[in-house]
Structure 1
Amino acid sequence: MPYVNIKITREGATAEQKQRLIEGATQLLVDVLGKNPATTVVVIDEVDTDNWGIGGIPVTQRRLQENP
């Protein structure tokens, strides 16, 4: 049973976008590894931007620097 964990920042991904991610990840495992889609699990974790850092800087702060 394949398990895929997708982590994204919580910035307004819609239910439709999440559905497309789940469908796409599942299809990728079917196409590349021949996995059964009925037993493929995909979980999307949304992380607050205060809790996601890049280069020592929280994403919240990086966004403010990019868009003053």
Structure 2
Amino acid sequence: MEAAVPVVRIEFLAGRSQEQKAEIAKVFTRELSRIGKCGEQDVHVIFNEIEGKSWAVGGVFSDHSD
């Protein structure tokens, strides 16, 4: 059976540094390739950073606006 290309989509509030995202991508890539038995070059990590004004939890926006 041929392995499908794994894609990891990470959504979080904006504000992480490039260094933080690089470390996250490295860890997810390493572990997904190890567990999923695929090459690290096949793992795609996509970051979707969302502004607090566009993210609400329990009816309250993360930037505390109304």
TM-score normalised to structure 2 length: 0.83
Report the equivalent of 2:23.
20
The yes-or-no answer on 1:44 pairing with 2:41 is: no
Paired-residue identity, %:
23
Bigger helix share: 1
Which stretches in structure 1 are left out of the alignment for 5+ residues? 63-68
Which stretches in structure 2 are left out of the alignment for 5+ residues? none
Q: Which amino acid aligns with 1:38?
A: Q
The yes-or-no answer on 1:6 pairing with 2:7 is: no
Q: Which amino acid aligns with 1:50?
A: K
TM-score normalised to structure 1 length: 0.80
Report the equivalent of 1:56.
59
Moved >6 Å (runs of 4+): none
Q: CA RMSD in A?
A: 1.4
Equivalents in 2 of 1:61, 1:35: separation in Å? Answer: 42
- Following superposition, the deviation at residue 45 of structure 1 comes to 0.8
Report the equivalent of 2:33.
30
Equivalents in 1 of 2:36, 2:22: separation in Å? Answer: 21
Q: Matched residue pairs, number? A: 61
